[in-house]
Amino acid sequence: MDSKSTNIPEQNSLTLWTQQVSKNQLTPWDRFPEIYLYMDQVLSFMEAQLHLFEQEKNTLLTSSMINNYVKDGVLPRPEKKKYNRDHLVRLTILCLLKQVLSIPDIHTLLDSLREHSDIHALYTSFCEAEEDTYREICKRIDTASSSGTEALAKLALQLSVESGARRTAAERIIHELQQKTENATEKE
């Protein structure tokens, strides 16, 4: 069997994934449940919300993770073991950002952003950035996919380098934000 025929299933599954991701939209603010949810309901909702972003053998969210986020102050305490829209929004952001940033860095970033806007505006901005970025990346993947395995390999390398550089830049910015917050706290 030649290399082109062995790559067809991979390219078809990759094309299917890019089609799904480029059309995917995170749940809009007004479509989140307005009722309180128990932990098992939260996990079911989040699984549906994040299924396209999960990687093999890497669960994005468990009840232990949620409990740790609450314990660490990254997520507000639930009311009588029930979670609301704000919790679900924060969990969505946390789950998607934790693939790139540490939980303490996400906490610092979210605290800094919440100083300037409410959670609704923050989530709307997050969704726009997420969707625009994935659409752009999916176009690049589709272009490379039509050019063959070598183009896909080169794109994977390029995306990896970009990811590393962007992560480093984001971490540096977050560090600066944290320093400014600490300096302001010391002055008070």
pLDDT band at 53 (very low <50, low <70, confident <90, very high): confident
Domain that residue 135 falls in:
3-187
Number of compact structural domains in the chain: 1
What is the identity of the amino acid at 179? Q
- pTM (2 decimals)? 0.84
Cross-strand partners of 83? 37
- C-alpha 46/C-alpha 54 separation (Å) is 11
Please enumerate, as own/partner, the contacts of 115-120 that have beta carbons within 8 Å and a separation of 24 or more.
Answer: 119/86, 119/89, 119/90, 120/29
Check pLDDT > 50 for residue 137.
yes
Question: What pLDDT shows up at residue 23?
Answer: 82
SS3 134: helix
113, two tokens: 């952003």
Question: What pLDDT shows up at residue 6?
Answer: 43
Residues belonging to the chain? 188
Question: What pLDDT shows up at residue 141?
Answer: 95
If you average pLDDT over residues 135-160, what whole number do you get?
Answer: 95
pLDDT band at 176 (very low <50, low <70, confident <90, very high): very high
**CB contact burial 41-52 (16+ within 10 A = b; e otherwise):** ebbebbeebbee
Question: What pLDDT shows up at residue 122?
Answer: 94
- Do 58 and 65 contact (CB within 8 A), yes or no? no
Model pLDDT for residues 68-96, shown as the tens digit of each residue: 999 999 999 999 999 999 999 999 999 99
Model pLDDT for residues 97-116, shown as the tens digit of each residue: 998 999 999 999 998 888 88
